[in-house]
Amino acid sequence: MKLFGLRLTSTALVGIFIILACVGGAVFAPWIAPHDPNLPLGGRWGPPSAEHWLGLDQIGRDMLSRILYGGRISIGLALLATVLAFVVGIVTGFAAAVFGGWVDIAFSRIADVVLSIPILMSALIIISGFGTTTTVLVLTIGFLYSVLVFRVARAVAMNIAVLDYVEVARLRGEGLMWVILREILPNALPPLAAEFGLRFCFAFLFIAALSFLGLGVQPPDADWGSMVKESALAIPAGIAAPLYPAAAIALLTIGVNLVVDWLLSIYSRPQGENA
């Protein structure tokens, strides 16, 4: 089987299936969720049944419905933060590689300053100062990860900018924007696509970790990280409730990594072997 002319491996197919299942469940949650995710329907930690497939949580809400709706928040916030990081990181990285000089120095020194502080510590400082709204969460993660994307985009663009076809385009009199959009960007897409998958995973896990610490998504909304925190008290009692959102986090991460591994294997092959 092929996708966009590229041969799919069995692991890539499994990864794509996992991603589509998770995203589909999140997108269509209002139609496929059996119950209102915030409505108590029974007793505390109700067991799985025909009506509640995954049982009930600590205040009697349907776990399956909350996982489906929680996926909308977990995946949506991670995707927004990753897109923001890539827009900022690619623009600044390409600018640093193409213009060089003081532009490269300024952006690189800013990146060094941001990366001198651990990302988790920086996020905790920013969120503690500006609040725990979803807007602050997305902007914080997007900004912090844009620095990492900047370094990757700059390195990739610098390697491409010295190749013969880019020099030929410059000698033809093409402008910088034409060179960036028509020569550098298309050839930088494979490694950047793989980096996008990795960054999405890190953003997704980062949001889950912040929610578990109580600094991410706030009640009554729920993402998978906050659901693990809310259900943690069930672990000593041998109740499986916290395992369901934890399994959802692990499953989506595995699926994205399988697709990223496939993309990296394609990018690392000699040209002509992808057919």
Average model confidence (pLDDT) across the chain: 87
pLDDT at 252: 93
What pTM did the predictor assign?
0.88
Report percent pLDDT > 70 for the chain.
Answer: 95
Residue 221 has pLDDT above 90, yes or no: no
**Dist CA 224 CA 206 (whole Å):** 12
**Dist CA 230 CA 37 (whole Å):** 14
pLDDT at 6: 65
Please count the structural domains in the chain.
1
Residue 15 lies in a domain: yes
Q: How confident is the model at residue 271 (pLDDT cuts 50, 70, 90)?
A: very low
Q: Which domain holds residue 101?
A: 2-268
Residue 272 has pLDDT above 50, yes or no: no
**DSSP code for 3:** E
Residue 275 lies in a domain: no
Residue 274 lies in a domain: no
CA distances to 144, 171, 198 from 96, in Å: 18, 21, 23
Angle 10-27/63-99 helices, nearest 10 degrees?
A: 120
Instruction: Reduce the secondary structure of 51-109 to three states and give it as a string.
Output: CCCCCECCCCCEHHHHHHHHHHHHHHHHHHHHHHHHHHHHHHHHHHHHHCHHHHHHHHH
Q: Compare 3 and 149 and report the one with higher pLDDT.
A: 149
Q: What is the pLDDT of residues 54-92, one digit of tens each?
A: 988 888 899 999 999 999 999 999 999 999 999 999 999
Residue 122, domain CATH:
1.10.3720.10
**Dist CA 161 CA 179 (whole Å):** 9
Q: Which of 165-169, 210-214, 267-271 has the highest mean pLDDT?
A: 210-214
Residue 171 has pLDDT above 80, yes or no: no
**Dist CA 10 CA 175 (whole Å):** 43
Dihedral (C-alpha) 85, 88, 94, 95: value to the nearest 10 degrees?
-160
Residue 104 lies in a domain: yes
Residue 273 lies in a domain: no
Residue 3 has pLDDT above 70, yes or no: no
- Report the pLDDT averaged over residues 138-157: 94
Lowest-pLDDT range, 156-165, 170-179, 187-196?
A: 170-179
Q: What is the pLDDT of residues 90-110, one digit of tens each?
A: 999 999 988 888 999 999 999
Q: Compare 156 and 1 and report the one with higher pLDDT.
A: 156
In the numeric block, which tokens belong to residue 66? 């909350």
- Report the pLDDT averaged over residues 167-179: 78
